[in-house]
Amino acid sequence: MDALSGFFAVLDATLRVSTPLVLAAMAGLFSERSGIVDISLEGKMLASAFAAAAVAAVTGSAWLALGTGILVGIALALVHGFACITHRGNQVVSGLAINILASGLTVVLGIAWFSQGGQTPALGSDARFMPIDLPLVDAVSSIPFIGQFYGDVISGHNVLVYLSWLAVFGTWWVVYRTRFGLRLRAVGENPLAVDTAGLSVSRLRYCAVAICGALAGVAGAYLSTAQNASFVREMTAGQGYIALAALIFGKWRPVPALLACLMFGFLDAVAIRLQGVVLPVIGEVPVQAIQALPYVLTVILLAGFIGRATAPKAVGIPYLKER
Amino acid sequence: MSINTSSIPLPAWLEIGLIPVLNILMALFFSGLIMLAIGVNPVEAVGIMINGAFGYDEAIGYTLYYTTNFIFTGLAVAVAFHANLFNIGGEGQAYIGGLGVGLVFLTLDQYLPTLLLIPLGIIAAGVFGAAWAFIPAWLQAYRGSHIVITTIMFNFIASSIMVYLLVNVLIKPGQMSPETRAFDESAWMPFMHEFLGWFGMEVTRSPLNMSLFFALLCSVFVWVYIWRTRWGYELRTSGQSEDAARYAGIKPKAVIITAMCISGALAGFVAVNEIMGVHHRLLLNFPAGYGFTGIAVSLMGRNHPVGIIMASLLFGVLYQGGAELAFEIPTITREMVVAIQGLIILFSGALALMLRPWVVKVYLKFKPVDEVVAA
């Protein structure tokens, strides 16, 4: 029984740490499926995390914070779109610029506004997204395995965690079951064909990057107002890149990307538990090895040693309308 | 009918002179807006920065010390760029370059004289940096994985490896902070104030060391390599059109690997300045973002060694002036420089062509269209 609750605790932690990854991976999916490379997930998350924490600290409203996070995410996405879609600039350079800008600006503004070394003030529980208990937790708790699983793992998260599950379903539905999704996939594979069909490549791509910005904004707001109770400098700590890795690992599809995020989240949750533990046969596993694993796995996948990761064909190529 | 401005050629002084300057001015304009937003007078800030970067000889030393790092990483990005490769991995390559220096010096610094140790350290930094760039290069050339993604991933992997090694393996015994023992003094790159002292010149101590000369030497080497050798020609051809290169008998795979290895070696040389020149021990996070700044430097310098040296100097001024600014004005921190750097990458890189149509329009006012198109 003890081992079981320990295992459930790890699963519970997995869901919590993979939520920002899931949201960011879905964000990246929209952008990359439309043909716009997005290495700026990291920067968008960081800027949104700061904006959300700042608004929550001032207004005390978690929902207003979430809204601001989304707006900041969209604003940065539009900068990215302006550079890559309107001016056909290099998408990697633009993404990198946004990451670096966000990394500097969040600290500069944080110090100017709150003078706490770049941090925002600690948020009270009413300015944060707090864990909520799902219905029937007490009623089913007596059922052995399932009841405990429901109570310990499924229930007791904040609303953004549940929203992230909805985001995966929503992404799947939009991308595979709607007309917009069909066009989105088409513009990422063959923009010329979309253009020939009389649709605006630019407008589709702007829509896609805006959705991407909004989702990355939720991911950022989650970091500073749900998972933690304030903004800390560089608090994304590479999670935007891990989300990108998960997106590639999931071969640019929602459900496999979700599974990749859960796997990376699980590794992270396990890494904390394994600190200093000596395993049979392997011995003590260095935490750094587990932390580096998502990156190593992505490289191995990209090299084609475990299946093939085929990106949307037009990704990274600016579209020039023939004159 | 509107004309397509991108097909209209502009004279060189507009194309490589005015437009880049306008782009930087745009970036600085927005930086000024940020300063206004946090209640700092931008004009006053510029004054403090310039004085902080050039006002006294110690300041100049610091400025040139930062410049040295940027020359290395800027050249690294530029060499890869000419082969149409985007090396985002300078950070990791510099870090692993430091590992090379550390391993060589920790084993040999007791036994060899300075004259052997310094070249050995430089070679180690280059070889280790190149090796760290070789893997993504090989994967791109032979396995079709994208260099941008793999070099990003390799930055994180390098960081994990270095944390592991410094915390568990290379750490000086009986010490809490994760760094190695200091190298023997015979392995130190001479400081510039010592070097100038030999000629009887009195200069205040600063971290500036003789790596600056090596950086300038590398700039010359890169210029010769790219524009004056067969290999450089192959590199540029392959960068512009892989198919054309293959048709001409050039092997694009070999070019990818050579270009990335040279790029990685150049990034690795950051360790020469930082580890051999200043810290004299291997420590955590010494590349401190220099690899990423190299991208801004290379974009600003238009991938040409002369441009890169000038851009490096500007970033040296920004870094040292920024430190002074953070000291003088409490509401400003060094991160302001990071934000400015982001704006420079945005306007000189991603939005490099934003202003071109306007410049073309103004240019055409002074020159008839037929003449320009015919030329």
B369 has pLDDT over 80:
no
Q: B10 in contact with A at a CB cutoff of 8 Å?
A: no
* Cβ <8 Å between A100 and B145: no
Kindly report the number of other CB atoms within 10 A of residue B260's CB atom: 30
Does B148 reach chain A within 8 Å, measured CB to CB?
Answer: yes
Decide if B346 and A83 are in contact by the 8 Å CB cutoff: yes
Which B positions 239-258 lie with beta carbon below 8 A of chain A? none
pLDDT tens-digit map of B319-350 = 999 999 888 888 888 889 899 999 999 998 88
Type of residue found at B270: V
**Does A322 score more than 80 pLDDT?**
no
Q: Is B335 on the interface with A (CB under 8 A)?
A: yes
Tell me if A93 and B336 make a contact (CB, 8 A cut-off).
no
Chain A residue whose CA is closest to B146: A302
Helix (H) or strand (E) holding A279: strand A278-279
Which is higher by pLDDT, A318 or A213?
A213
Confidence bin at A222 (pLDDT 50/70/90): very high
A137 confidence band (pLDDT: 50, 70, 90) = confident
Q: What is the mean pLDDT of chain A?
A: 90
Residue pair B342/A76 in contact by the 8 Å Cβ criterion: no
pLDDT tops 90 at residue B219: yes
Q: Is residue B200 part of a domain?
A: yes
Reported as type and span, the H/E element at residue A5 is helix A2-33
Q: Are residues B350 and A89, on separate chains, in Cβ contact within 8 Å?
A: yes
The radius of gyration of chain A from alpha carbons, rounded to an integer in Å, stands at 20
Check B346 against A304: CB less than 8 A apart: no
Q: What is the pLDDT of residue B372?
A: 61
A249 vs B372: CA distance, rounded Å: 50
Q: Is B166 on the interface with A (CB under 8 A)?
A: no
Supply the range of the domain harboring residue B85.
67-297
pLDDT at B306 over 80: yes
pLDDT band at B16 (very low <50, low <70, confident <90, very high): confident
Residue B218 lies in a domain: yes
**pLDDT tens-digit series, residues B57-113:** 899 999 999 999 999 999 999 999 999 999 999 999 999 999 999 999 999 999 999
- pLDDT surpasses 70 at A73: yes
- What integer best gives the mean pLDDT of chain B? 91
Higher per-residue confidence, A305 vs B149: B149
Provide the shortest C-alpha distance from residue A151 to chain B (in Å): 36
Q: Cβ–Cβ of B345/A97 closer than 8 Å?
A: yes
Q: What is the mean pLDDT of residues A72-76?
A: 97
Out of A108, A295, A304, closest to residue B34 by CB: A108
Q: Is the model more confident about A39 or about A127?
A: A39
Quote ipTM for the complex. Answer: 0.90
Measured in angstroms, the CA of A168 and the nearest CA of chain B are apart by 24
| Closest chain B residue to the Cα of A287, Cα to Cα | B164
Contact A100 B338 (CB under 8 A): yes
Question: What's the average model confidence in pLDDT over A254-263?
Answer: 95
Residue B1 above 50 pLDDT?
Answer: no
More confident call, B176 vs A209: A209
Share of residues in chain A with pLDDT > 70 (%)? 98
pTM: 0.91
Calculate how close chain B gets to A139, using CA atoms only, in Å.
46
The residue of B1, B84, B156 whose CB has the most chain A CBs within 10 angstroms, and thus the best one to mutate to test that interface, is: B156
- Whether the predicted pLDDT of B288 surpasses 50: yes
CB pair distance less than 8 Å for A90 and B349: yes
Spatial contact of B66 and B273, defined as CB atoms under 8 Å apart: no
Chain A interface disruption, residue of B73, B162, B336, B346, most A CBs within 10 A: B346
Which residues from chain A sit within 8 angstroms of residue B89, using beta carbons? none
Stretch A281-291: mean pLDDT: 78
Residues in chain B with CB shorter than 8 Å from the CB of A311 are 146
User: In this complex, how many residue pairs, one in chain A and one in chain B, have their CB atoms less than 8 Å apart?
Assistant: 152
Residue B314 lies in a domain: no
Tell me the percentage of chain B whose pLDDT exceeds 90: 67
Whether residue B196 is contained in a domain is answered as yes
The answer on pLDDT for B375 being more than 60 is no
A101 and B164: CB-CB below 8 Å? Answer: no
Q: How does DSSP assign B215-254, residue by residue?
A: HHHHHHHHHHHHHHSHHHHHHHHHHH-HHHHHHTT--HHH
Q: Token pair of B350, please?
A: 């991603």
**Residue B231 belongs to some domain of the structure:** yes
CA distance A249 to A238: 16
User: Which of B133, B123, B100, B170 shows the shortest CA–CA distance to B256?
Assistant: B133
pLDDT for B6: 73
Q: What is the pLDDT of residue B374?
A: 54
Q: Minimal Cα distance from B295: which residue of A? A: A93
Instruction: Provide mean pLDDT across the span A158-183.
Output: 95
Residue A311: which of A269, A251, A268, A249 has the closest Cα? Answer: A251
d(CA A43, CA B32): 21
Question: What is the band of B373 on the pLDDT scale with cuts at 50, 70, 90?
Answer: low
User: Would you call B164 and A103 a contact, using CB atoms and an 8 Å cutoff?
Assistant: no
User: Number of structural domains, chain B?
Assistant: 1
